[in-house]
Structure 1
């Protein structure tokens, strides 16, 4: 952090720094530190650290009565066994310091735990016995659909602006295969207050938050709080569905301005994330005219090129499994998801293994 402070001070001597902003999960603490050092809008370093440290988050939620998953940090398989036995199967294992579902896996029963622990600890890497925020977490498995609440907080007042419904690949992994946002989603009234309570518990004062929850039989429960814009083009989906521009709001807040959160449209948008079918060299990646000319298609972007080495999920190498993404816009999320399901029939993908 000393190097970050020195760089910030040097920049401030040459320029007037108006705001500090990051969309990177791993830069949250540094951004908060710089904002505080330069007396600019942001969150405290403690709040940023708590949102990155799952143990600190869980402790804050428990102290404030926010419903969330029970969770324990472990550094050995023996500790993982004890934690899972206490929490009760099934459990989820995840590297504490990562994001984007890397290394996250479900252990249905005790027999599955050694393999699951190996998978999660391999993704944790050097963090396993290192910093307090490193290692592996054994968490209670929350059954039910997974959603996120996209929240905007200004001077301690939070406004939930949209619900993102997440589509996941088959268990035991939690590979994200798509998301959908629909203006006026009725879940906002149910899950929004829980998201607000979680952000209040962490002391979030300013910025955009991506709050992940599961809709369980007992109501919405927090999976985790991400003190940043959501990934996978979720802010783009929100803008297409509601007209609310979350990246612009994030910039306005960093500059000390009140963001405009007025909805200007009432539609739906969804994204499909296309993965490599096998590990090897990408030999073919093509979409036919019926897809590229579809009236509902907002974008089709190939993220990998023919000739690239790609990995079939799950993989710990971020960016090597996703081949493309497709965004659909229509009147409802259901229609968007139907378009995206049919789109896969119009893709030709081949991998030489």
Structure 2
């Protein structure tokens, strides 16, 4: 096997995780560290190491033994659950990666806010209110050079859950040239001592300027890497693989479009009795994909109190402008039908 990368955990949600695995595997052989890889992941793999990434010490020992027989080039994860383990393993093998302390700080919102505030990074302002726009800077860091590859604008649902309803990426987003947002991103990267990696830096846009809400020091979820690739041509998954192996990624934009994803949440709490997607959805102009993410018979929670696990479906559209993307999303939504029996009725 030629110089593979180790991926800690494939993920368990095919609709979201398969894209990243496919893109990484297109660039370099992937050995998955996972005790039970899902069937959909197997075609992308060059090998498997049957170890539980959640058992940090035991997994590290298994990986070191594996690395003694194979020339491992890098360690990756796109799971917050395994970020610290990936950092420790990369360090043990002398490979590029986060420090365990940085990975742990990013996983602890209170510790992260304290660390950033101590280094004059503008952190989230409770006075901004729930209506403040939420965005994220999809950032690539290489040896001190900080590049914002894309801006993701997120539309949130109703309180108290305020789950994402939609993400949108536009190659010509004006925030790419906002010096205050750029300053917040630069300060965040320097405060965390990061020298290479792909980051998802969340921010609120307040009347006092952009304020950092969180840092994901690995590839973001919700198919955001797909949106960035469709809108700009920049492949964040392959960039992450390159950085993990000590190589220089190509982050040159090759497209100037817009891409968006929308999620459907239950309208009521109860048993999902019917969920259907018309095949005509694929014929809508701008349609990229539309996927059901729930099974009939499942118990689901209505949108105000929902989690990402309650989502019924997702759909992705691409177009030349954000407004055209949003029009496409609305047209595609008409092809989804669902019926939920409230618990009292279901019983």
Question: Where do 5+ consecutive residues of structure 1 fail to align?
Answer: 71-86, 91-139
2:318 matches 1:336: no
**TM superposition shift of 1:314:** 4.9
Which among 288, 302, 306 is matched to residue 296 of structure 2? 306
CA contact (8 A) 1:69 1:141 kept: no
Which among 272, 286, 301 is matched to residue 276 of structure 2? 286
**TM superposition shift of 1:315:** 5.2
Which whole-Å CA distance do the structure 1 matches of 2:245 and 2:336 have between them?
A: 43
Cα separation, partners in 2 of 1:199 and 1:300, compared to 1, 3 Å:
same
- For residues 110-132 of structure 1, the C-alpha deviation after alignment (integer angstroms, 9 at most, x for no partner) is xxxxxxxxxxxxxxxxxxxxxxx
Match of 1:157 in 2: 145
Which whole-Å CA distance do the structure 1 matches of 2:65 and 2:163 have between them?
A: 41
Match of 1:77 in 2: none
Which whole-Å CA distance do the structure 2 matches of 1:287 and 1:267 have between them?
A: 27
Question: Where do 5+ consecutive residues of structure 2 fail to align?
Answer: 1-55, 343-347
**TM superposition shift of 1:318:** 5.0
Within a 5 Å distance, the mapping from 1:234-253 to structure 2 comes to 234-253=224-243
Which whole-Å CA distance do the structure 2 matches of 1:24 and 1:192 have between them?
A: 26
Which whole-Å CA distance do the structure 1 matches of 2:90 and 2:260 have between them?
A: 34
CA contact (8 A) 1:151 1:209 kept: yes
RMSD between aligned residues: 1.9
**TM superposition shift of 1:59:** 2.3
Match of 1:324 in 2: 313
- For residues 223-263 of structure 1, the C-alpha deviation after alignment (integer angstroms, 9 at most, x for no partner) is 11111111110010000000000000000111110000011
Cα separation, partners in 2 of 1:141 and 1:352, compared to 1, 3 Å:
same
Which among 133, 142, 166 is matched to residue 154 of structure 2? 166
SS in 1 for 2:168: strand
2:239 matches 1:184: no
2:56 matches 1:4: no
Q: TM-score, normalized by length of structure 1?
A: 0.76
2:331 matches 1:276: no
- For residues 198-225 of structure 1, the C-alpha deviation after alignment (integer angstroms, 9 at most, x for no partner) is 1211112221110000000011011111
Q: TM-score, normalized by length of structure 2?
A: 0.77
**TM superposition shift of 1:51:** 1.3
186-195 vs 338-347, greater mean Cα deviation: 338-347
CA contact (8 A) 2:163 2:307 kept: no
- For residues 116-170 of structure 1, the C-alpha deviation after alignment (integer angstroms, 9 at most, x for no partner) is xxxxxxxxxxxxxxxxxxxxxxxx7575200000001112322111000001001
Match of 1:209 in 2: 199
SS in 2 for 1:20: strand
**TM superposition shift of 1:69:** 2.4
Which whole-Å CA distance do the structure 2 matches of 1:63 and 1:228 have between them?
A: 23
Match of 1:147 in 2: 135
CA contact (8 A) 1:164 1:180 kept: yes
SS in 1 for 2:312: strand
Which whole-Å CA distance do the structure 2 matches of 1:22 and 1:61 have between them?
A: 24
- For residues 254-284 of structure 1, the C-alpha deviation after alignment (integer angstroms, 9 at most, x for no partner) is 1110000011110000000111222333222
Which whole-Å CA distance do the structure 2 matches of 1:146 and 1:15 have between them?
A: 43
Match of 2:215 in 1: 225
CA contact (8 A) 2:282 2:288 kept: no
Which whole-Å CA distance do the structure 1 matches of 2:230 and 2:123 have between them?
A: 30
CA contact (8 A) 1:143 1:214 kept: no
Which whole-Å CA distance do the structure 2 matches of 1:254 and 1:316 have between them?
A: 35
CA contact (8 A) 1:143 1:216 kept: no
Which whole-Å CA distance do the structure 2 matches of 1:235 and 1:161 have between them?
A: 11
Which whole-Å CA distance do the structure 1 matches of 2:307 and 2:208 have between them?
A: 36
Which whole-Å CA distance do the structure 1 matches of 2:319 and 2:306 have between them?
A: 34
